[in-house]
Structure 1
Amino acid sequence: MIHTLRRATVTVAAVTAAAGLLAGCGQDTAGSEAAPAATTAAPNPKETLLAAVPDETRPGFSYTIKDWETTLTGEVAPTTKATHLRMEIKEESLGFTMHMAYLTVDKQSWTKITFTETKGLTGLPKLPAKWMLLDPAKLTDAEGVPTEYTGADVADLKPLLANTTITESAAGKYAGTVDLSGAAGTNIFSEETAAGIGEAAKTLPFQATVDAEGRLTSFLVNVPTVGKTKAYDYSVTYADYGTAPAVAVPAAADAVAAPAAAYELINS
């Protein structure tokens, strides 16, 4: 499973480039010596938010992850250790769209890659329309391609939220700042973008929401303008807890071994 949008974006960019080349407080009781009365501490916002991030105890759910150029969608089934990831990217100069999907179940992964709006283009790889089973030994980018199930926290939010200052502005609504100047920031943007943001990366504003059952439903970071990249929101949303489509191993008739052309494209 691709854990971060940044990794997925890098993968898509590489594939697109290859395709482009091919195509051209408690209160005290009364009395000075009395012991403090037992009280129940108010929930700590950070602890509450961290506990809300999807984990292996959650029912299946769907997700969407967005940055300034890419959108990822999919489903996660923690009980069966399975994830489904989908993305689309438009190759502006050539006009075609690449549709890419990954399916991981435990320690196996499959991919499906198709192209649309290809009229007049030649040289794009011809790939099976079925799920293509991947051999990890034939992949050169272990970070960019999901080869096994790695957990329900598909957006790597727990390590990110560890670097936050959080307040609860209303029931289920949280806000604060997050430090994305270190390693956690690479899950959202490139090292170049982090360098461009500079010191501001240590206090980027964010908002998050949690539903009545204590489950995270949204997380959003406001990223400022850097160079030619305008300000944008990096967002993660979760929905359909318990009702998301099932994720399972594809039927034998719907899967084939990935051909050499698939590895050439993915590894480019």
Structure 2
Amino acid sequence: MLAATLLVPGLTACKSDDPAPAGAGSAASAVPADPKEALIASTKELEKGNFTFTLAGDGLSGKGLVHKPSNSAQFSMKFDDGSGSSMGMELIFIQPDSWVKLDLGELGAMIPGAEKMKGKYQHLDQSKVKDAGELSRYMEQADPAGSAMLTKGITDVEKTAEGSYAGKLDASAATDSSAVDADMVKALGAQAKALPFTAKVDAEGRLTELVISVPSAGETKAHDIKVTYADYGNATAAQKPAADKVVEASPETYEMFKK
């Protein structure tokens, strides 16, 4: 599986014509005393769309940036299920264009035309992306991991140290988050309503780390989902791929992301 639910950063934040000044009005001059309210407030700075992030889960690792001032974003990821084979993907968005580069590993040999796309950035037709299920859905989110949605699902939390929190959250209503797979939530059943988590915020109250502990269930093994954020107000613009590395996306690429 290409794990499309953990592939693509949210890009709507890049589409505004009125970007906030870098570093202006950072999240919290006064961090709320209530732990849950503090964590909900910690995600507000993400709405400004100027940060870098990392994302890691069961066999998955990724990193990227969102840069609203230039209407751009970039994300790369790698998936390794431990069998010795791996897959990777990079997506670049510079309004109004986007490109995707896929490394499908052994799976590529089974997809028509995949070999000639190897090492190339496929330029995406925006009209087709809108019909591409998972791909279009994640391009409509401002936050790559859906941390704001996850923090709203907190059911129990306490402050464990300055800038550090721990508790439990209900992930069952957060399956639109790139960090939470709907199949995983289904496998967890009732356990998904009380997943242990830890979180950290910086001196200005902005979220810097969220770690969710997922228990084993069905084919899902116990693992942590970890999201980190940095460079608030200081991210750099995504770079357009070199022309000699660009081809138009194949029908198989669009099909791959459909539900």
1:87 to 57, 74, 77: 77
* Higher radius of gyration, 1 or 2: 1
Q: Is residue 134 of structure 2 the alignment partner of residue 144 of structure 1?
A: yes
Q: Structure 1: how far apart are the matches of 2:67 and 2:188? A: 36
Aligned residue number for residue 222 of structure 2? 231
Structure 1 window deviating more from structure 2 (79-88 vs 184-193): it is 184-193
Q: TM-score, normalised by structure 1?
A: 0.69
Letter in 1 for 2:6: A
1:103-252 → structure 2 map (5 Å cutoff): 103-114=92-103, 124-127=114-117, 129-139=119-129, 142-146=132-136, 150-164=140-154, 165-181=156-172, 183-185=173-175, 187=177, 188-250=179-241, 252=243
What is the TM-score of this pair, normalised by structure 2?
A: 0.72
Aligned equivalents of 1:266, 1:80: Cα separation in 2 = 26
> How far off its partner does 1:236 sit?
0.6
Letter in 1 for 2:34: N
Aligned to 2:60: 70
Listed as ranges, the matches of 1:20-31 within 5 Å are none
Q: What runs of 5+ residues in structure 2 fail to find an aligned partner?
A: 9-29
CA offset at residue 88 of structure 1?
1.8
User: Which residue of the other structure, out of 100, 104, 109, is the alignment partner of 2:89?
Assistant: 100
Aligned CA distance change for structure 1 residues 97 and 6 (closer, same or farther; 3 Å) = closer
> In structure 2, the residue corresponding to 1:55 is in which secondary structure?
helix
Shift of 1:64: 1.3
Sequence identity (%): 34
Q: For 2:39 and 2:125, how far apart are their aligned partners in 1?
A: 37
SS of the equivalent of 2:77 reads: strand
Taking the aligned partners of 1:156 and 1:236, their CA distance within structure 2 comes to: 10
CA distance in 2, matches of 1:166, 1:70: 27
Unaligned runs of 5+ in 1: 11-39
Q: CA deviation at 1:167?
A: 2.0
Runs of 4+ in 1 over 3 A off after TM superposition: 90-93, 114-118, 120-124, 136-143, 146-152, 185-193, 240-245, 248-256, 259-268
* 1:3-45 per-position Cα deviation (integer Å, ceiling 9, x unaligned): xx761369xxxxxxxxxxxxxxxxxxxxxxxxxxxxx996222
Partner Cα distance (1:122, 1:137) in 2: 23
User: What SS does the aligned partner of 1:229 have?
Assistant: coil
Distance 2:36 2:198 in 1: 12
Pair 1:258–1:50, CA change in 2 (3 A): same
**1:194 positional shift:** 2.7
